[in-house]
Structure 1
Amino acid sequence: MTHIYHRIFDQFRVFDSEGVSREDDFEGTAQWLESPGCLFQRNNFILDRMIRSEGVIKAGLFVTIVLKGSGQGGPHRDVTRFRYSENSIVVMALRKPQLWSGEASGGVRMFAAGLAFPKASIDRLGLQREFLELFSSAQSDEFVVTLKAPPRILAMATEMLSPTLDGRAEELLLSAHAMEILARVISIAGKRASMEMAGDHKQRRLRAIRDAIDADLRRPWKVSQLAREAGISRRSFNTHFRRAFGVSASEYLRTRRLESARDAIIEQGISINEAAYLAGYGNPANFATAFRKHFGYAPSRCRLPPN
């Protein structure tokens, strides 16, 4: 039997901090809406432990309306990807399939509505032009933005998460809200994309700085040096960097080092001491403390059992 998530993923895994599969838990809160042709994910629970998901996500438009909760996710190659928090909307558009990963810490109350529109649904609804206009160029395959959720969208998301109807009436209401959310979000996201394209020269310089950090995480980067290379004053550099990527340059570097160390533990089986060195920590205990604070679990839990 085809898993409901195969409608939006070519491959996927959902597992907790102990490596236990959680796909079936989340499948029970997912629903396919024939009109407009999207997967609706109802998230209304408290996570008992850290949850991580990964896989190859298909082309399409993905919207998450977060009323309560926090976490991160997005295309795997871009580690900042997106970070979500209360009363926000995350919009991700993909022109072609991408490696994807996401995670949320244990103990977090999640109250969020997720809508995933495959590219075929976008085309069938006549929104192909609006979809393509989200990308900054013909070579760009992804668009990710986090926005403050307008009251109307928050109200619709709340009703989708706690419907007052049932049966066919509930399905019709969910479909109507999904259609309206799609129309409003693609319009809002399109305006944001136009603004970003207008400032594309500065964006390219900031992306070049980010890529330089990614290429040499062990280098002792200084904010003054990064600002100079970006051609931006030090006073305003972090403001521009945070606006572009959601975090300051120093927070980005710290996160990249920790996530690189985590991936090395999982994928290469390196020791905790080696991971600490990779993340720039001379003391493994300090590394473990920073790791636990950032991810919500100890680095030793990254040694997951094989699939």
Structure 2
Amino acid sequence: MKHIYHRIFDQFHILDSDGASREDDFAGAARWLESPGCLFQPNNFMLDRMIRGEGVVKAGLFVTIVLKGSGQGGPRREMTRFRYSENSIVVMALRKPLFWIGETSGGGRLFAAGLAFPKASIERLGLQREFLELFSSTETDEFVVALKAPPRILAMATEMLSPTLDGRAEELLLSAHAMEILARVISIAGKRASIEMASDHKQRRLRAIRDAIDADLRRPWKVSQLARDAGISRRSFNTHFRRAFGVSASDYLRTRRLESARDAIIEQGISINEAAYLAGYGNPANFATAFRKHFGYAPSRCRQSTN
């Protein structure tokens, strides 16, 4: 029998931080909604460890409404990676199949509704023009944006995750909400694409700032200096950075430092104290606390995996 995820993936893997498969855990909750023709993925889990997924995603429109939880993901190309947190909505449109990766932080609850609309469903619903217009501001075959979720979409996602109806009535309610979310999201995303096209110069400067951070994570970056380098006032810099990448500049820097430290522990076998220094922490205990809060497990587990 064909796996339900084959409707949206050509290939896929979902693993926890110990390398154990979690595909059945997530797929067991997924369901296909014939109208409007989408995969509905309800996520209501307590995650004791980080979850990593990867695969080749088919063309289509993918919406994740996050009420609780945090993580990152997107196409492998760094330029289009996104980060998400509580009460956010992530929209990813793909014109062609693309390799995708994602990570969900452990140590907390994941309460999120995912909707995946294959390209064929978009065309059948008569939204092909709106779908293709999302790519007008970029020369690539993907469009990714993370936004604060509007109250109406949050309310619909909450009801989809905790339905009060049963049987056919529940199916109709889920389908109606999925259809409305699609209509609202493609409109919101279309406006964002137009804004990004109009402010492409500012986007390039913000991407240059992000790339500079990635290139020198040990540097004691200051938001005021980043704002000056971007040619944006300090007051509005974080707002623009969050709109572009889903998180503030300070949160982005902290996350990237922790990720770099984790990779160095695993791949280079450095000590926890060295990793703390790499991540900009003078106190290894503070580093361990921040690491555990972000990834859902202690940095010592990374050391164990290298032995």
Q: Same fold (TM over 0.5)?
A: yes
Separation (CA, whole Å) in 1 of partners of 2:24 and 2:303: 22
Distance in 1 separating the partners of 2:55 and 2:16: 19
TM-score scaled to structure 1, two decimals?
0.84
SS in 2 for 1:41: strand
Q: 1:178–1:214: structure 2 CA closer, same or farther, 3 Å change rule?
A: same
Counterparts of 1:264 and 1:127 in 2: how far apart (Å)? 45
| Contact 1:10-1:55 within 8 A present in 2 as well | no
Change in CA separation of 1:265 and 1:243 when aligned onto 2, cut-off 3 Å: same
| 1:52 lines up with 2:22 in the alignment | no
RMSD across aligned positions (CA): 2.8
Q: CA deviation at 1:32?
A: 1.4
TM-score of the superposed pair, with normalisation by structure 2 = 0.84
Runs of 5+ in structure 1 lacking a partner? Answer: none
Deviation at 1:305, TM superposition (A): 6.5
Specify the alignment match of 1:85 in structure 2: 86
Deviation per residue, 1:185-235 (Å, 9 max, x gap):
111221222223222221211111111211232334333432232122344
SS in 1 for 2:116: strand
**Structure 2 residue 150 is the aligned partner of structure 1 residue 141:** no
Matching residue of 1:271 = 270
The aligned residue for residue 232 of structure 1 is 232
Q: Is the 8 A contact 2:90 2:144 kept in 1?
A: no
The equivalent residue for 1:159 is: 159
The one-letter amino acid of 2:102's match is: S
Report if aligned partners of 1:91, 1:145 keep a CA contact under 8 Å in 2. Answer: yes
Between stretches 140-149 and 278-287, larger displacement belongs to: 278-287
**Match runs of 1:3-42 below 5 Å:** 3-42=3-42
Count of aligned positions: 300
Per the alignment, residue 101 of structure 1 pairs with: 102
The answer as to whether partners of 2:13 and 2:55 remain within 8 angstroms in 1 is: no
Instruction: Report the CA distance between 1:57 and its aligned residue.
Output: 4.3
Check the 8 A contact 2:69/2:111 in 1, yes or no.
no
Judged with a 3 Å threshold, the aligned counterparts in structure 2 of structure 1 residues 166 and 218 are, in CA distance, closer, same or farther, namely same
- Please state how far the C-alpha of 1:18 moved relative to its aligned partner: 3.8
The DSSP-based 3-state class of the residue aligned with 2:108 is coil
5+ residue gaps in structure 2? none
Name the structure 2 match of 1:251: 251
